[in-house]
Amino acid sequence: MAGIGFVLRKLSKRDDLSGLFQAYAYSALISTGPWMFTIISLGSISYLAGKFTTVETLSEFRRVIIYNFSFSLVFSAPVFMVVTRYLADAIYRKDVEGTPGLLIGGTALIIGTQLPLASAFYFFYAQISTGLALAAIVNFILISEIWLLSVFVTAIKDYKSVLLAFGTGMGFSALTSAFLVDLFDLIGILSAFSLGLCLTVALLVARVLAEYPYRFKEPFAFMGYFKKYWEVALSGVTYNSASWVDKWIMWQAPESDHSPTHLFLYPNYDSAMFLAYLSIVPSMAMFIMSVETNFFEAYLKFYRDIQHKASLSEIKENHENILLSILRSSRNFLVVQGAISLIFILMASKFFTAFGVNYMQISIYRFGVLGSFFQVMTLFINIILSYFDCRRAYMGLQGLFLLSNAAFTFISFSYGFKYYGVGYYLACVLTFVVSSLYMFHYIKRLPFHTFISTNASVG
């Protein structure tokens, strides 16, 4: 027959609209975990180790740990973000047999990339003893491995065993440091921390393998994802740099400790900020739950109904429900987080007295609380955007955060102590405003994006 016949048959198969996006959503969670881990373990180790050693040793220990947390997060981000994506796809396809291989491949890549970076840093840049450098490098790689493992354990969503793994590891650290600090001082305490991390890593690996009891195969199958999802890899670096860039800049401030090790810190700024971040912990937990229930239900219904031959008016109604659920969650969040932040600000002096914190930090801390209020709101938007797989936009928004945080911090830095922390705060506000405008603009046109701009079958 003349005429093109196979168009119809081809059409029938083109029904792959539905979101595998939901599987990606947890990648947004990944970005919050490390922060919590950093702050909590720093706090608890400082507290515990303080009982066995001198203030000087402890501050040198904190110095190495902060550098390790900060840079391992940034440098290993491309690996763990891409692994996240790969794992999410595998889970969505219900084809998780490659997970043990992925874990091995990811670990190999982490070691392969982080070892030279950390070595270069500690041997050539930092002015510290070879022994300490070696211990620091080991610790650096272990922390990187924790970032990677957090991808897998977040997917399992067994938070209890995660807590157990970290608790056991850190407890073991505390015990061993009591012995090692006497023998090797700073190196001892650092190695004790590393030993604890080793235990945590082992427990987490065991948990992952228990969940995915398959043979190791094709460990580097995920490498192709670097090309396909380069935006994801880049966003990982950008996001994590953005969260740290104000600290990096402030470490150069005249008030910083200018340590001869070249590993500068500005303890007043750092601990003020860390303390400020604590203000977002409670609402984050609540908030993730509200995303998981309200929003996710509306989201699923939107896509499922399309697949199940919904009419446009039904699709529009579902679309509205998505918007409503976002608005509702935002409102609740705003109220709760607003109240908490307010309490953190108003009670600042009480906290400072209670924890024995230097009063110098109080203004930085207040800007930190305000900034983290907006940062966590932005995080909410990021989670929503990741549900819709807006990779480019996500990358752009992270870029904006990085640049504005760097620029504003730099400016506030040049205005002197009174303005420290303002840069971070303003960057958070700006990123939040742009992100929310983008999100609402995007969601307003959700049907269009669903059917055309993000539909792989179109084009």
Partner 1 sequence: MTTDVCLVLEGTYPYVSGGVSSWTHDLIKEQPHLTFTLFCLVPPGFKTKMAYEVPGNVKEIVRVELQKLPKRLSKVGEKRKQKLMQDLIGPLLKLQTDPSLEDLEYLVTLLKEVGEIGREVLTDSPEAFDLLCQMYEKTLNTSSFLDYFWSWRSLLGGLFSVLVCPLPRSRCYHALCTGYAGLFLARASLESGRPCLLTEHGIYTNERRIEIGTAEWLDDRQSLNLNVDQRAVRKSLRDFWIESFIGYSKLAYQVAESSITLYEGNKELQIEDGADPQRLKVIPNGIDYEAYSRIPRKQGGRPTVGFLGRVVPIKDLKTLIRACSFLKAAVPEALVWIMGPTEEDEAYFEECKELVAHGGLEETVLFLGKVNIKEYLGKFDLLVLTSLSEAQPLVILEAGAVGVPSIATDVGSCSELLYGRPDEDPQLGPGGIVCPLASPSAIGEAMIKLLGEKELYEQCSRAIKARVDRYYRKELQNQAYRQMYDELLAMPDVDTLARVGARLPSEI
Q: Which one of 43-51, 200-208, 249-257, 440-448 is the stretch in contact with partner 1 (CB under 8 A)?
A: 440-448
Supply the minimum distance, in Å, between the C-beta of residue 315 and partner 1. Answer: 6
Judged by beta carbon, residue 194 or residue 318, the one nearer partner 1 is 318
Name every residue whose Cβ is closer than 8 Å to that of residue 104 and which is 6 or more positions away in sequence.
216, 219
Nearer to partner 1, 417 or 451 (CB): 451
Q: Which residues contact 253 (CB under 8 A, 6 or more apart)?
A: 266, 269, 413, 420
Determine which residue in the list 206, 327, 437, 452 makes contact with partner 1, applying CB under 8 A: 452
From 47-55, 146-154, 407-415, 447-455, give the range in contact with partner 1 by CB under 8 A.
Answer: 447-455
- How far is the CA of 83 from the CAs of 99, 115, 198, 233, 443, in angstroms? 10, 19, 21, 9, 28
Of the pair 4, 354, the CB lying nearest partner 1 is at 4
| Of 347 and 452, CB closest to partner 1 | 452
Residue 185: which region, alpha, beta or left (left: phi > 0; alpha: psi -120 to 50)?
A: left
Helices 362-387 and 267-277: crossing angle in degrees, nearest 10, is: 50
Interface of this chain with partner 1, residues 285 to 314, rule: CB under 8 A: 306-307, 309-314
Contact residue for partner 1 among 14, 228, 304, 331 (CB under 8 A)? 14
Q: How far is the CB of 444 from partner 1 (least distance, A)?
A: 10
Residue 302 CB, nearest approach to partner 1 (Å):
12
Convert residues 309-348 into a mask of x (bound to partner 1 by CB under 8 A) and - (unbound).
Answer: xxxxxxx---------------------------------
Side chain identity at 265, as an amino acid letter?
Answer: L
DSSP string, 414-448: HT-GGGTTHHHHHHHHHHHHHHHHHHHHHHHTHHH
CB nearer partner 1, residue 9 or residue 418:
9
| Alpha carbon distance 421, 372 (integer Å) | 11
**Is residue 130 a contact residue for partner 1 (CB under 8 A)?**
no
> How far apart are alpha carbons 73 and 395 in whole angstroms?
17
Minimum distance from residue 14 beta carbon to partner 1 (Å): 6
Long-range contacts of 353-360 (CB under 8 A, 24+ apart): 355/275, 357/271, 357/272, 357/275, 358/268, 360/268
- The region of 6-14, 98-106, 160-168, 204-212 touching partner 1 under the rule CB under 8 A is 6-14
> Residue holding tokens 């001198």?
54
Query: Smallest gap, in angstroms, from Cβ of residue 23 to partner 1?
Result: 21
Residues 6+ apart with CB under 8 A from 232: 27, 81, 82, 84, 85, 225, 391
Contact window for partner 1 (CB under 8 A) among 14-22, 60-68, 131-139, 415-423: 14-22
Choose which of 214, 220, 355, 448 interacts with partner 1 (CB under 8 A): 448
Considering the complex, what minimum distance in angstroms separates the CB of residue 301 from partner 1?
14
Residue 47: CA atoms inside 13 Å, Cβ hemisphere, count?
10
Q: How many beta carbons lie within 10 A of that of residue 27, not counting itself?
A: 25
Contacts of residue 435, defined as CB under 8 A and 6 or more positions apart, other chains included, come to 378, 381, 382, 385, 397
Using the rule CB under 8 A, is 258 a contact of partner 1?
Answer: no
Residue 216 carries which DSSP code? -
List the x/- string, 17-56, binding to partner 1 by CB under 8 A: x---------------------------------------
Residue closer to partner 1 by CB (options 14, 93) is 14
456 touches partner 1 (CB under 8 A): no
Question: Which residue lies nearer to partner 1 by CB, 15 or 218?
Answer: 15
**CB of residue 7 vs partner 1: minimum separation in angstroms?**
6
Looking at the Cβ atoms of 214 and 448, the one nearer to partner 1 is 448
Q: Which of 1, 55, 354, 456 binds partner 1 (CB under 8 A)?
A: 1
Burial of residue 224 (number of CB atoms within 10 Å: 0-12, 13-18, 19+): exposed
**Residue 19 has what DSSP assignment?**
-
252 binds partner 1 (CB under 8 A): no
Task: Please name the residue that has the structure tokens 């200018």.
Answer: 258
What residues line the site for partner 1 (CB under 8 A)? 1-9, 11-12, 14-15, 17, 306-307, 309-315, 445, 447-448, 451-453, 458-459
